[in-house]
Structure 1
């Protein structure tokens, strides 16, 4: 069984990222998301993350993606997931990271390797567009 993925974050971060991921990479198996909606209490969030991790319990491990380091979804995922022993939690999730890991987990079944791949890809895919003006050169034959 492959490594399970869980995405959580503030408001509709989890469902929004999931929607984009499914459009690009197709519907995911062994995958859950938990939104932290404004009406949710900490207990609600903890219950929903626990439920999602329980549904992924037969996976080799679970990689949890969250939005902000130190945010409530991140801290709750750590508190609920860490005692299970086969759950890694990372923050700063972005779409390029999710697409890469959705594809990579088909052949990477080591939780630590997949976690490192997520971190590397997430950093590498943050880029800035640079406009470079190209000087026009006259051709030697005058055209």
Structure 2
């Protein structure tokens, strides 16, 4: 199975994870690393390395980060270049990406394909709602 690490500023990782648990249950081979105000970049690096060590028996690791270019993203990229494990770093994470990726790991074994799917899902999850005149058609259907 491909491992997952969720990291970001503040409690981004634990916040996304709270929603994942509510919607889909707690995934296995899944680590959370928050980068809180008290942490230095060195603390973040240490916590990320520990999370990766906890996933050492995985067939690759996808690291989901919040902001492209932020400290969690940059530190994850630097770690991915130093470690022997196959590590893919994604930035701009949203909840849909994490849920779909977590669930798809049960039948997808290619980390690159899974990461590509996550990026496409993330893009598809971002929309701009525009109000139009209400009709019965738009009100039908089940929600999430």
**What is the CA–CA distance in structure 1 between the aligned matches of 2:121 and 2:104, rounded to whole Å?**
11
CA RMSD after TM alignment? 1.2
Q: Are 1:119 and 2:116 an aligned pair?
A: no
Residue 96 of structure 1 corresponds to which residue in structure 2?
96
Larger Rg: 1
Residue 54 of structure 2 corresponds to which residue in structure 1?
55
The alpha carbon displacement at 1:59 in A equals 0.1
Aligned residue for 1:116, secondary structure, equals helix
- Give yes or no for contact 1:7–1:66 (8 Å, CA) kept in 2: yes
- Give yes or no for contact 1:4–1:31 (8 Å, CA) kept in 2: yes
Aligned residue for 1:24, secondary structure, equals helix
Residue 82 of structure 1 corresponds to which residue in structure 2?
81
Instruction: List gaps (5 residues or longer) in structure 2.
Output: 136-144
**What is the CA–CA distance in structure 2 between the aligned matches of 1:27 and 1:54, rounded to whole Å?**
19
Pair 1:114–1:39, CA change in 2 (3 A): same
Paired residue total: 134
The alpha carbon displacement at 1:134 in A equals 5.3
Instruction: List gaps (5 residues or longer) in structure 1.
Output: 136-143
Residue 140 of structure 1 corresponds to which residue in structure 2?
none
The alpha carbon displacement at 1:42 in A equals 1.1
TM-score under structure 1 normalisation? 0.90
The alpha carbon displacement at 1:81 in A equals 2.1
Residue 8 of structure 1 corresponds to which residue in structure 2?
7
